[in-house]
Chains A and B, each alone.
Chain A
Amino acid sequence: MTDHIDQDRPGRGDGAAGDAHRAKPTSSAFEIILPALGERPAFEVGEAVSVRDRSPIGHYRVPIYLRGHVGTVVRIIEPVLVDNEAEGYGRNAGSRLHYYRVAFPLTELWSRYEGAPGDELHVEIFETWLERAQ
């Protein structure tokens, strides 16, 4: 929001031509910001999600005991990060997406759980491992 263009260019005070590269000091510039790919979380806090039941070989970071189970998103991890599974093959870049902290009742994870019914497990899971629960 600078108005110093004319000062920087002495002798070229033609306001009409200068408008094109002048930033407009209005709030509308903020209203039209669009998040880029991956910037907007795919899931919300409180949403029920299930862990995808796939079985990769070679390397993964979602333990088998979580696969296919339904939990609730309790926190969205910021900032977005790369998928640490992809880093296992020496790729140090890749798309950044959100990790979600997901809560599971321990009685949901272990059918023979012997603790108290309110006991829970919390874990961070990369976006591509989650889907909306039915």
Chain B
Amino acid sequence: MATQDFVSRLPNDIGGFEAGSVARVEHVLEPWEKRCHALADVLDFKKIINTEEKRKGVEALGETLIGKLPYYERWIVAFANILFTKELLSPTELAEKMAEVEARFPVESGQGG
């Protein structure tokens, strides 16, 4: 495959690709997944990150990450990257806040964060 095809085809543009049979999987959203969805809607409503920016942000994760991360994991990582680009958050700020959130939960043996 010429390298330009990797550039001009977005990793989410899969219509017509070969794929396995459809497994009718579904799950009830975890509370954080629903909060993540609500966050997306609010960010779009306020035009802080519109829906199309979110889609582009997910595409920008690249094929490998898109393949490995579940749905809302892709969204929240995309939001972080977009907020950095817009200078609404900094990577340091987010790292420190994540450490603070983790510290609210007592560490237990054998299970890291």
Contacts and interface: CB of A to CB of B under 8 A. Distances in A.
Q: Do A and B interact directly, with beta carbons closer than 8 Å?
A: yes
B8 A90 contact: no
Interface string B29-66: 00000000000000000010011110110010000000
A88 B16 contact: no
A87 B56 CA distance: 10
What DSSP secondary structure best describes chain A's contact surface? loop
Given A88-B52, A89-B56, 5 more contacts: A56-B8, A59-B10, A64-B13, A87-B52, A88-B55
A55 B10 CA distance: 10
Given A59-B59, A92-B47, A110-B16, A85 B52 contact: yes
A65 B8 CA distance: 13
Nearest to A84: B52
A61 B15 CA distance: 12
B97 interface: no
Given A57-B8, A59-B10, A59-B59, A90 B53 contact: yes
A117 interface: no
